[in-house]
Structure formats: structure tokens, C-alpha cells
């Protein structure tokens, strides 16, 4: 059952902690690093969440290639995570940030990719069974 929990729910949970818990919110600088070019890279909490979300989105798309009953629950939970993120983005002023918009789009991509991969896999299975 744990395999059905969307990994992007972790990012959404962390975004809620950042957005609602801290005073600085998504713009809080986590760390900065000097680059060989002489430029300074400042990574904010929002940037860190987006980077973590991108990595977890890869694994979510990989999880979408599985078949079985847990994949249906995974798709349903992914849709729930998207709806929660959408409501927070539209209703709560603290989530009106470009980083949270990127997280929202990642949850949408997760939903669309999950259903697309499942449907294309089902078509392929149906076509191969019909030829037998």
C-alpha cells in the first residue's frame, strides 16, 4: 500500500511546512555558493522544493509503468495531491509563488503521465491479446 502513495505528496507536505510554518516562506535562502565564474548561486526554499520535485517526478513517471491494482490507487492519490495543490494555489495567498506554481505543474504532469502510460500500456496489451 505504501507504493501507492505519490512521492510528490512529500513535496506538497514540505511546501505546506515552508508556506505556512516559516516567516520567510518560499523566498528564504537555504544556502549560497560561489561559482567558478565569480557568480553567486543562492538557493531558496522554493528552489529546493522544485529541485526535489523534479527528481521525485522522475520516479513517479517510472512508477506509472507498473501494472496492477496498486497503480489504480497510485493514480487516484496523485489526482488528490494535484487537487489539494490546486486549491492551495488558488485560495491561500502564501502559496501564490512561482515555486509553488512549478510544484502544481509537476503534480499535473504526474497525473497526466500516469494515466497516459497506463492507457497506452493497456492498449498494447489489448492489441497483443487480440492477435493471439
Domain ranges of the chain: 2-131
Say what the pLDDT of residue 75 is. 86
pLDDT tens digits for the chain (132 residues)?
Answer: 567 789 999 999 999 999 998 677 899 999 999 999 999 999 999 999 999 999 999 999 888 887 777 777 888 999 999 999 999 999 999 999 999 999 999 999 999 998 888 777 666 655 555 555
- In whole angstroms, give the CA distance from residue 130 to residue 127: 5
- In whole angstroms, give the CA distance from residue 26 to residue 101: 11
Say what the pLDDT of residue 10 is. 95
Q: What global pTM score does this model have?
A: 0.84
Amino acid at each position: 500500500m505504501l507504493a501507492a502513495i505519490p512521492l510528490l505528496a512529500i513535496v506538497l507536505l514540505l511546501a505546506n511546512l515552508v508556506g505556512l510554518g516559516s516567516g520567510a516562506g518560499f523566498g528564504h535562502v537555504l544556502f549560497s555558493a560561489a561559482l567558478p565564474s565569480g557568480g553567486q548561486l543562492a538557493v531558496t526554499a522554493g528552489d529546493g522544493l522544485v529541485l526535489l520535485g523534479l527528481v521525485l517526478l522522475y520516479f513517479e513517471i517510472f512508477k506509472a509503468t507498473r501494472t496492477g491494482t496498486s497503480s489504480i490507487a497510485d493514480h487516484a492519490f496523485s489526482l488528490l495531491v494535484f487537487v489539494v495543490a490546486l486549491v492551495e494555489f488558488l485560495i491561500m495567498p502564501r502559496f501564490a509563488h512561482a515555486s509553488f506554481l512549478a510544484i502544481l505543474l509537476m503534480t499535473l504532469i504526474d497525473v497526466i503521465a500516469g494515466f497516459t502510460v497506463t492507457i497506452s500500456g493497456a492498449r498494447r496489451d489489448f492489441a497483443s491479446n487480440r492477435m493471439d
